[in-house]
Amino acid sequence: MSNFNHERWMMCCASVRQSRTVVEECIKWSNQRIVFGKKLSDQPVIRAKLAKMISHVEACQAWLEQITFQMCNMTYAQQSKLLGGPIGLLKSFTTRSAHEVADDAVNIFGGRGLTQGGMGRVVEMFHRTYKFDSILGGTEEILADLGVRQALKQMPKAML
């Protein structure tokens, strides 16, 4: 299990980093793009999309840092026993968040978010490839189920 834990943890790190890069690109683009005489970021709907994207990335980052702290302070045996479920839930949430970020980023970039070159290339590549992380290392559904099963297994009998 410890090998799976580290593999999945690395995938979460990569997914969060890529999501953050896409959010940064969206912030830059929305401040540069002029639509109807105003910056795109002056539109409330765009700011709402950016807020949602930032919230997803920051939530994933905070959870990732919490898991990382635990990994640094546990033995491999403890990690195998205690962190398989939480890392599975983190990976599931991180890849679902990447889906949300990719979808909103394409909407912010419009047609440029579908082009493989130019200003939209980072968004296009992320939108095309984010799904790999949701499948490799265990699908979102399987890992979410692992997390719930592990939590139920560790619950005190008096609570069941």
87 lies in some domain: yes
142 lies in some domain: yes
58 lies in some domain: yes
Coil, strand, or helix at residue 58? helix
Give Cβ neighbours of residue 87 (< 8 Å, ≥ 6 apart).
Answer: 5, 8, 9, 12, 67
For position 123, which CATH number holds?
1.20.140.10
160 lies in some domain: no
* Reported confidence tier of residue 127, pLDDT bands at 50, 70, 90: very high
Domain count, the chain: 1
pLDDT digits (tens, 9 = 90+) for 75-108: 999 998 999 999 999 999 999 999 999 999 999 9
Distances (CA, A) of 12 to 4, 29, 45, 139, 144: 12, 26, 28, 13, 14
Mean residue pLDDT across the chain: 95
pLDDT of residue 150 exceeding 70: yes
Tell me the β-bridge partners of 21: none
159 lies in some domain: no
The answer to whether the CB of 19 falls within 8 A of the CB of 27 is no
Q: Which domain holds residue 24?
A: 2-154
Enter the pTM of the model.
Answer: 0.91
pLDDT of residue 71 exceeding 70: yes
